[in-house]
Amino acid sequence: MQITDDDLYFYYGSKYLNLNSRYKQAPDLFNEERKKLSKGGGSREDIIAYAKKSLRAPLPNEQEYIKREDWLPFEDLTGERQEVLDNPIWNKTQKFIFENFKPSSTSLIIQRCSSRKPYIDNGNYKYTKLLQEHKLCDLAVASLEIIPINFTIYYPFRQYDWNDKFETPELTEYAINRKTNRIIQFIDHFGYQKILILGPGFEHDTYYKTITDKLKEHYGTSKEIHFVMDEETTNKCIETMNGYKGLAKVRYPNLKPTQERICSLLGVENPQKKIEKVKLW
């Protein structure tokens, strides 16, 4: 597949502006320029120019482990289909991660994926990235692959598009079992002993709670497995979000109750002395 930097800027920019994306980002986070462009008020050149000044640059082809000439058509990794989950490319990505990632801790936070890519630039990972930077844990994003946060700049982790809201019940069951197995392979390969699963506990969203239960059943007492967003923490977050008109719901990983729960599970005492203060917005 032949693709230029401008092709990538247009692709990334279009997704960032909610154009041709199945996973919409919260428009109340947009500035005026982004709102205008997201309503179709711009040409291809306008979108490319906006992406160049607003988003991370594409990784140079020589730094990619899968070179651009071997990339799949974008549509092959788009949409909620079992074929996307079963694509052989995920064998390549797992092999690359297993051979190149170097753990810095025996504790691991596995955090759910989000709409903005690369995940390393997404504000939802601001606090958990700081925990990793202070060597209190490692951080991986649970998406179509289990991706160490610093690896999210590589292909295909900026290219796929999947929204679990469009999954059928059968596909959700398949996706949960697949993701659980990938997490187990990741944990076993790198030898983690304490694992924190950070996904929503709001309303009827039980996706990551189900994965946590499956991990606990698999490992028994041999490893510590914790679901961060227990009922108490979730209720505290809901109280904290009053007045934010739901905006903070997408940033719950950075809310104080979540941070306190994570530090408690990691055994971090006086976290304010060890970790830089994180602003919510």
Q: Are residues 38 and 110 in the same domain?
A: no
In a domain, 71, yes or no: no
Report whether 146 contacts 110 (CB < 8 A). yes
Residue 239: band (very low, low, confident or very high) from pLDDT cuts 50, 70, 90: confident
Mean pLDDT of the chain: 88
Tell whether 37 and 115 lie within a shared domain. Answer: no
Paired tokens of 33:
């320029």
Residue 109 has pLDDT above 90, yes or no: yes
- Residue 67 included in any domain: no
Q: What percent of the chain has pLDDT over 70?
A: 84
* Same-domain check for residues 95 and 52: no
The answer on 28 and 87 residing in a single domain is no
Q: So what's the pLDDT on residue 87?
A: 97
Shared domain for 168 and 234, answered yes or no, is yes
| In a shared domain, residues 85 and 44 | no
Query: What would the pLDDT profile of 181-205 be if each residue is shown by its tens digit?
Result: 999 999 999 999 999 999 988 766 7
> Is 89 among the domain residues?
yes
- Asked if 21 and 113 sit in the same domain, the reply is no
Residue 100 structural domain: 81-274
Q: Which of 9, 26, 58 is where one domain is finished?
A: 58
* 73 prior amide bond cis, ω within 30: no
The tens digit of pLDDT for each residue in 9-32 reads 999 988 888 766 555 555 555 566
The answer to whether residue 41 sits within a structural domain is yes
Q: How confident is the model at residue 279 (pLDDT cuts 50, 70, 90)?
A: very low
